[in-house]
Amino acid sequence: MSLAHTIETGLRSLLGHRLRSVLTTLGILFGVAAVIATVGIGQASSDSVTARITSLGTNLLTISSGSTVSAGVFGGAGSANTLTMADVSGLQDRQSAPDILAVAPVTQGRASLVSSSGNWSTTVSGSTAGWLVTNSRTVGAGSFINTNDSATRAQVIVLGSTTSSNLGVGVGDLVLVRQIPFEVIGVLAPAGSQGFGNQDDLAVVPITTAQDMLFGGSGGVQRILLSATSPSTIGSAYLEADQILLQTHHITDPSLADFTITSQTQVLSTAQAVTQTLTILLASVAAISLLVGGIGVMNIMLVSVTERTSEIGLRKALGATPGDLFRQFVIEAGTLTALGGLLGVATGLAVGYIVPRAANIAVTITPLPVLTAVAVAVAVGLVFGVYPALRAARLAPIEALRAQ
Amino acid sequence: MEVEEAARFAEVAVASTELIRLESVTKVYGSGDASVVALRSFSLNVAAGESVAVMGPSGSGKSTLMNILGCLDIPSSGRYWFGGEDVSRLNETELARIRNRRIGFVFQQFQLLPRLSAWRNVELPLLYRNVHDRRALALQALEQVGLSNRIDHRPSQLSGGQQQRVAIARALVTDPDLILADEPTGNLDTASSRDVLAVLRELNEQGRTIIVITHDPEVAPVARRTVHMRDGRLIDEVAA
């Protein structure tokens, strides 16, 4: 039998059992769609985490207040604001810290900003001129906080581009933060949205102003951001910062340090490991559903062989060779899975299109998982189609004819 | 009378070519204590153009004989020559080729595919070889059995007798050397039986070799020669 006739025969038989064919196809369809969608979501969140962390700079170190120790009992991390402005000036000493490029203390809180045309709630950070460097940001309009502003507790504020447009204010306008008037001296250049939160929705004021007028706790610093002079000096910058802080905090045993220094690369690799694990987990679940779909195909094909035993017997009597029947059943299984695979890709792509718009979850579809899912689906169909096809090919014509 | 005699003579002359030769064919199913001998040293010669009825009660080995004759199964021992070719040791694929090219089957249950129209059913054997004009050949075969006006009907839209005639057309469409009919009237009423037997007789008169396997004494007269079987053996032969 020519291949064209075999395909024609296989397709006719699939069309003859429409409902069954559709149900079998659904199994594969959902498997493939699930693989594509979950890998897409995993990929997107991994990309977003990576992009967000790298946008902070790979030469960034973050020092957070560590645990307090009182009477031998460790408090939790961040249980005390152990960092002070004294630490900041210590770290800024070029002599003892030659590998540290910039230092920015941060004290942060949420506050409602009110302008003449509206109000908007956002994160307000108190910091210094070093904030711009450590966060790898640039000013789009106006200027950033300078040392003089910090020294004089100037009531000045720099806004993210989103915040600025939401409040309808620009450089030179006034905004009220907790009823205190601030002059907008600059608007940051947009950094773009990166999945989790918006880098352009924020406000920065001089740290001294923040401490005294907004969040209280004079001298307290939640964390200190450090930029190493280059990604390659991050190791020595780390050691220098560690040394200086141990000294200023009068700690002799490094294991009792009341601060923690984390590098961005550490955070990055941890975050990547986490998202990767999640992606693998999701993809495995999806792969299992694909496998289940494949077993469904085998199931249906076996039912089909059993149900069509007398047809197979007849075809054999009329001259179908074992090869003819084997090919017919493999083609039937292959067609079902290929069809399911293609529809699955369409569904997966549709999910990739709809989900980000409906649920604000980013989905990144790359060709590799799509191709892999389709290839796996077809392979699953062929592999699981082979056994029923062999059964069909091996049926003895006489017994097959007798089955009614 | 003389004309008839002459016609019969001519047929005998045609029939002198041997089509089937079974030489002490034995078929055993199963093995050891559970083995059943279905055919014992069975020998039979059928010339081309002959019509033979194989009769016997159930369990006499008729079906086994039909399977062997139809190349659906091979003998456990002995030889089977079909049209001069030893087919007793062929593999499945080679047997399929013989069935496709040289044998047309007619079954008791008709064995038509319910989803296919009459002509699509008749076309089936042609799909397993590369033939063009399948539709034309199928229509021609349907015409031979008098069903030209039913080509697009599904089996469920046809009477039993018509279905069996479609099955005969399917057996004919490949222009086979042998038509092998297994209880062709077993599922039919008397009138339809007469119809189907008439078609078979007519085909034989056109020179086609026909073997009918039956337990029904009313069917046997369709053939000019009757072979009786019991317990897997040939017990006697009657020439009509």
Beta strands B36-47; B18-29: pairing state: antiparallel
Give residue B19's pLDDT.
93
Shortest CA gap A20–chain B (Å): 16
Using the Cβ of B129 and the Cβ atoms of chain A, whether some distance falls under 8 Å is answered with yes
- Closest chain A residue by Cα to residue B100: A319
Q: Which residue type, as a one-letter code, is found at position A78?
A: G
Residue B10: predicted pLDDT:
45
Selecting from B63, B105, B129 the residue whose C-beta is nearest the C-beta of A317 gives B105
Q: Is the pLDDT of residue A76 over 60?
A: no
Which residues from chain B sit within 8 angstroms of residue A315, using beta carbons? 124, 128
Residue type, A135: N
Q: Which of B101, B113, B128 sits opposite A320 (nearest CB)?
A: B128
- Contacts of range A279-286, beta carbons closer than 8 Å, 24 or more positions apart: A279/A38, A279/A39, A279/A42, A279/A43, A279/A46, A280/A42, A282/A38, A282/A39, A282/A41, A282/A42, A283/A35, A283/A38, A283/A39, A283/A42, A283/A369, A285/A34, A285/A38, A286/A31, A286/A34, A286/A35, A286/A37, A286/A38, A286/A39
Examine the pLDDT at A267 and tell me if it is beyond 80. no
- Residue A194 scores a pLDDT above 80: no
Give yes or no for A4 touching B (CB within 8 A). no
* Residue A69 reports pLDDT greater than 70: no
Rounded average pLDDT over B182-198: 90
Considering chain B, what percentage of its residues have pLDDT values greater than 90? 57
Give the mean model confidence (pLDDT) for residues A244-255. Answer: 84
Q: What is the pLDDT of residue B103?
A: 94
The reported pLDDT for the residue numbered B136 is: 94
Residue A9's pLDDT is: 80
Residue A81: pLDDT band with limits 50, 70, 90: low
Q: Check whether A238 has a pLDDT greater than 90.
A: no
State the pLDDT at residue B172: 92
Quote the pLDDT of residue A193: 54
A80 pLDDT tier (thresholds 50, 70, 90)? low
Predicted confidence (pLDDT) at residue B2 exceeds the cutoff of 70:
no
Kindly list the residues from chain B whose CB atom is less than 8 angstroms away from the CB atom of residue A318: 99-100, 105, 124-125, 128, 170
The yes-or-no verdict on residue A338 having pLDDT over 60 is yes
Establish how many alpha carbons lie within 13 A of residue B15's alpha carbon, considering only the half-sphere containing its beta carbon. Answer: 22
pLDDT band at A184 (very low <50, low <70, confident <90, very high): very high
Q: Can you tell me the mean pLDDT for A320-329? A: 88
What is the predicted pLDDT for the residue at A257?
80
Tell me what pLDDT residue A197 has.
58
CA atoms within 13 A on the CB side of A168: 6
Q: Each residue of A10-42: pLDDT tens digit?
A: 888 888 788 888 888 888 898 888 888 888 888
Determine the Cα–Cα distance for residues A262 and A297; give it in Å rounded to an integer.
51
Residue B25: predicted pLDDT: 93
Residue B13 has pLDDT above 50, yes or no: no
Query: Is A317 within 8 Å of B93 when comparing Cβ atoms?
Result: no
Q: What is the pLDDT of residue B14?
A: 45
Read off the tokens for A205. Answer: 């004021």
| pLDDT at position A220 over 80 | no
Bigger pLDDT: B7 or A102? A102
A307-334 as b/e: b if 16+ CB within 10 A: ebbbbbbbbbbbbbbbebbbbbbbbbbb
pLDDT higher than 70, residue B46: yes
pLDDT at residue A218 is higher than 60: no
Give A 323-362 residues with CB within 8 A of chain B: 323-324
Q: Among A393, A404, A384, which Cα is nearest to A305's?
A: A393
User: Cβ separation of A322 and B127 shorter than 8 Å?
Assistant: no
- Mean pLDDT estimate for chain A: 83
pLDDT classification of B50: cutoffs 50, 70, 90: very high
**Average pLDDT estimate for B53-81:** 90
* Cβ pair A191, A66 in contact under 8 A: no
- Reported confidence tier of residue B205, pLDDT bands at 50, 70, 90: very high
In percent, the amount of chain A with pLDDT more than 70 equals: 92
| Confidence check: pLDDT of A353 > 60 | yes
CB nearest B93 (choices: A2, A310, A321): A321
For A104, residues 6+ apart whose C-beta sits below 8 A from its C-beta are: A127, A128, A129, A130, A131, A133, A134, A135, A224, A225, A226
Residue of B73, B100, B130 lying closest to A318 (CB–CB): B100
Q: pLDDT tier at B138 (50, 70, 90 boundaries)?
A: very high
User: What average pLDDT does chain B have?
Assistant: 87
Q: So what's the pLDDT on residue A242?
A: 87
Smallest Cα distance from A2 to chain B, Å? 7
- Of the pLDDT bands very low, low, confident and very high (cuts 50, 70, 90), residue B12 is very low
What pLDDT is attached to residue A31?
86
Residue B43 has pLDDT above 80, yes or no: yes
Of residues A403 and A404, more confidence is placed in: A403
Contact A223, A100 (CB under 8 A): no
How would residue A217 be classed by pLDDT, with cut points 50, 70 and 90?
low
Lowest pLDDT segment from A136-140, A373-377, B143-147, B200-204: A373-377
* pLDDT for the residue B16: 59
**Predicted ipTM?**
0.86
Q: Using an 8 Å CB-CB cutoff, list chain A residues near B65.
A: none
Measured CA to CA, the distance from residue B202 to residue B212 in angstroms comes to: 14
One-letter amino acid at B225 equals R
- DSSP string across A213-238: IIS--TTEESEEEEEESSGGGHHHHH
**Comparison of pLDDT for B122 and A67, the residue scoring more:** B122
| Residue B97 touches partner A, C-beta closer than 8 Å | yes
pLDDT number for residue A127: 92
Predicted confidence band of residue B239 (pLDDT cuts 50, 70, 90)? low
Output A374 or B1, whichever has higher pLDDT: A374
Chain B contacts of A304, Cβ < 8 Å? Answer: none
User: Percentage of chain B surpassing pLDDT 70?
Assistant: 92
Query: Tell me, what's the pLDDT at A63?
Result: 87
Q: Is A136 on the interface with B (CB under 8 A)?
A: no
What per-residue confidence (pLDDT) applies to B141?
Answer: 93
Q: Where are the alpha helices (DSSP H) in chain B?
A: 2-15, 62-69, 92-102, 118-127, 134-144, 160-172, 190-205
DSSP assigned state of A193: B
The C-alpha angle with vertex A374 and arms to A371 and A380, in degrees rounded to 5, equals 135
